[in-house]
Structure 1
Amino acid sequence: MARTHLLYLHGFRSSPQSMKARMVAAHVATRHPDAVFWCPQLPPSPRAAMALVAEGIAAWPDGAAMVVIGSSLGGYYASWVAHQRGCASVLLNPAVDPARDLARYIGEQTAWHSPEERFFFRAEYIDELRALDVRGHGPAGPQLLIAAQGDELLDWREMVARYPEARQLVLPGGDHALSNFPELLPQVMAFCDLVG
């Protein structure tokens, strides 16, 4: 059964204006016009971010009809969403332990795609991240992991170890942003298996 709903979750300091998010949105609009696509701007608070997502997809179907794509911190969030909804997930250079990795970013930050926009990453957000950790739970649905060995921010070996049951695509070289995403898009969208 083809999936009807696709959720895209961007990474830390990122936005729906990221290259990957815009490419997926354009692909869905042109190739899968009957599918529902949503890529929300996530607030800095992990608790608020997942509350926003949960409210936005409350009326969406569970399980086989839905898929979530997450990049970096969005990959961590995507695993939580997949666990809640029993759906498939695509994990693009996902954060495995953001409570550990983002502790050094506490304080004022700038938005990647709008440097004039500033936000505060607060100390309490670390505990909010820990509360969303679904490590130790089996996959709620099919998983596709794309991990670049050249990721300059996150360790691809941790990604591979975190998602042992995923279909894994480990890329030699590359970078955290997955600059070669145009080449990867067909595989990502084939896995998503959207209607239309």
Structure 2
Amino acid sequence: MRDPNITKVLLSLHGFHSSPGSLKAQQMREYLQSEHPDIHFICPQLPVFPEQMWQTIESIFNQYEGCEIAVMGSSLGGFLATNVAQQYAAKVILINPAVTPDLLLTRYQGEQTHPHLLENYFIDQDYVQQLVALNVDLINLPKNIWVLLQENDEVLDYREALKKYAQCKITCEKGGDHSFIGFERYLAEIIHFLY
């Protein structure tokens, strides 16, 4: 049973082979505890398969039904958060989001060991198809999405996100990297946008 006093929830979705211990999640958790204790922060350890990742997200939305739920997603978490915006009309922040993870992760085909779950699994055609099934072609509520990009992202081409999210609010910085250096500068503004 959830706490009946919880009315606002921020769901944080980490990237591929990452964890709730990521720096951005820690920074947001600490900021909310200090400045917005009324916002309940959730950052689950996502399972290895995209289908299961989505089931985890759905279960959280079910658990906190009736609450105001917003989402921040980084990299693969940004890809998932785009689908959340579509399915639940939630406000989302995307940080260097993966636009075509089905293409990106074909490079990693074969056996994988998740560095945090220590679980062995395969990236194969089924895995890729699970990603394809979660893809959003046309964004129906662009006003609910704010995209943070840094041009020196060494993993993803930021121009793909510029194109996909052209109708959304976008902040694109020169320099930086895939982790989005200096994320803490935006914490207050992010919460203002989401709520």
TM more than 0.5: yes
Instruction: Give 1:140 deviation, angstroms.
Output: 6.3
- RCO higher in structure (CA 8 A, sep ≥6): 1
Whether the 8 Å CA contact 1:67–1:192 is kept in 2: the answer is yes
Residue in structure 1 matching 2:190, options 188, 191, 196? 188
Residue in structure 2 matching 1:101, options 101, 104, 114? 104
- Mapped to 1, the partners of 2:103 and 2:23 lie a distance apart of 26
Corresponding residue number in structure 1 for 2:63: 59
- Mapped to 1, the partners of 2:140 and 2:60 lie a distance apart of 25
Corresponding residue number in structure 1 for 2:28: 24
Whether the 8 Å CA contact 1:106–1:120 is kept in 2: the answer is no
Corresponding residue number in structure 1 for 2:4: none
- Mapped to 2, the partners of 1:154 and 1:172 lie a distance apart of 14
Residue identity in the other structure for 1:11: G
Aligned: 1:166 with 2:168:
yes
Corresponding residue number in structure 1 for 2:138: 136
The superposition leaves residues 73-117 of structure 1 with CA deviations (integer Å, 9 ceiling, x where unpaired) of: 0000001111111111100000000011111112333545x4x93
Instruction: Give 1:141 deviation, angstroms.
Output: 5.2
Root mean square deviation, CA, Å: 2.0
The TM-score, its normalising length taken from structure 1, stands at 0.88
Whether the 8 Å CA contact 1:9–1:78 is kept in 2: the answer is yes
The superposition leaves residues 118-168 of structure 1 with CA deviations (integer Å, 9 ceiling, x where unpaired) of: 532431110000000112242265111001101001011111111112111
Instruction: Give 1:187 deviation, angstroms.
Output: 2.5
Q: Counterparts in 2 of 1:37-48, with a 5 A limit?
A: 37-48=41-52
Residue in structure 2 matching 1:76, options 59, 68, 79? 79
